[in-house]
Chain A
Amino acid sequence: MSLRIVVCVKYVPDATGDRHFADDLTLDRDDVDGLLSELDEYAVEQALQIADEADDAEITVLTVGPEDAKDALRKALSMGADKAVHVEDDDLHGTDVIGTSLVLAKAIEKTGYDLVICGMASTDGVMGVLPALLSERLGVPQVTLLSEVSVEDGTVKGRRDGDSASEQLEASLPAVVSVTDQSGEARYPSFKGIMAAKKKPVESLDLEDLEIEADEVGLEGSWTAVDSATERPARTAGTIVKDEGEGGRQLAEFLAGQKFI
Chain B
Amino acid sequence: MAEVLVYVDHVDGAVRKPTLELLTLARRIGEPVAVALGNGAADTAAALAEHGAVKVLTADAPEFADYLVVPKVDALQAAFDAVSPAAVLLPSSAEAKEIGARLALRIGSGIITDAVDLEAGDQGPVATQSAFAASYTTKSRVSKGTPVITVKPNSVAVEAAPAAGAVEALDVSFSEKATGTKVLSRTPRESTGRPELTEAAIVVAGGRGVNGAENFAVIEALADSLGAAVGASRAAVDAGWYPHTSQVGQTGKSVSPQLYIASGISGAIQHRAGMQTSKTIVAINKDAEAPIFELVDYGVVGDLFAVVPQLTDEVKSRKG
Contact = CB atoms under 8 A, between A and B. Distances in A.
Asked if A pairs with B, the answer is yes
Given A128-B94, A261-B226, A248 B307 contact: yes
B159 interface: no
Contacts of A162: 94-95
B139 interface: yes
Contacts of A140: 180
Contacts of A137: 105
Main secondary structure of the interface of B (DSSP, over half): mixed
Contacts of B300: 240-243, 247-248, 250-251
B139 A226 contact: yes
B100 interface: yes
B306 A126 contact: no
B98 A142 contact: yes
A25 B129 CA distance: 13
B258 A260 contact: yes
A21 B130 CA distance: 12
Interface residues of B, number: 89
Given A128-B97, A223-B142, A224-B141, A254 B181 contact: no
Contacts of B111: 97-98, 127, 129, 223-224
B251 A181 contact: yes
B202 interface: yes
B84 interface: no
Contacts of B11: 164
Contacts of A228: 138-139
Contact of A239 (B70, B109, B145, B298): B298
Given A142-B68, A143-B68, A247-B302, A19 B314 contact: no
A98 to B, nearest CB: 6
A129 B98 contact: yes
Most buried by B among A143, A157, A223, A226: A223
Interface in B276-320: 280-282, 284, 288, 293-303, 306-315, 318-319
B285 to A, nearest CB: 10
Given A240-B293, A248-B307, A170 B93 contact: no
B83 interface: no
Contacts, number: 261
Interface stretch (B23-31, B55-63, B182-190): B182-190
A109 interface: no
A168 B109 contact: no
Contacts of A1: none
B146 to A, nearest CB: 11
Contacts of B140: 224-227
B112 interface: yes
Contact of B189 (A25, A139, A166, A243): A166
A261 B133 contact: no
A138 to B, nearest CB: 10
A261 B69 contact: no
A240 B301 contact: yes
A230 B318 contact: no
A260 B245 contact: no
A212 B288 CA distance: 54
Nearest to B237: A182
B159 to A, nearest CB: 21
Contact of A129 (B113, B126, B136): B113
A124 interface: yes
A182 B126 CA distance: 35
Contact of A132 (B69, B110, B302): B69
Contacts of B181: 141-143, 169-171, 175
B125 to A, nearest CB: 12
A137 B181 CA distance: 16
A19 to B, nearest CB: 4
A192 interface: no
Interface in A225-261: 225-232, 235, 238-243, 245, 247-252, 254-256, 258, 260-261
Interface string A192-209: 000000000000000000
B33 interface: no
Given A242-B301, A247-B307, A145 B186 contact: no
B102 A163 contact: no
Contacts of B39: none
B164 interface: no
Nearest to A172: B180
A167 B110 contact: no
A73 interface: no
Given A133-B105, A171-B180, A248-B307, A241 B301 contact: yes
B306 A243 contact: yes
B287 to A, nearest CB: 12
Contact of B110 (A126, A224, A248): A224
Interface in B136-193: 136-145, 177, 180-189
A213 B273 CA distance: 36
8 contacts: A21-B136, A120-B251, A143-B68, A143-B181, A163-B245, A181-B251, A228-B138, A248-B300
Q: Lowest 8 A-B CB distances belong to which pairs?
A: A248-B310, A243-B302, A223-B110, A141-B180, A252-B314, A129-B101, A132-B98, A248-B311
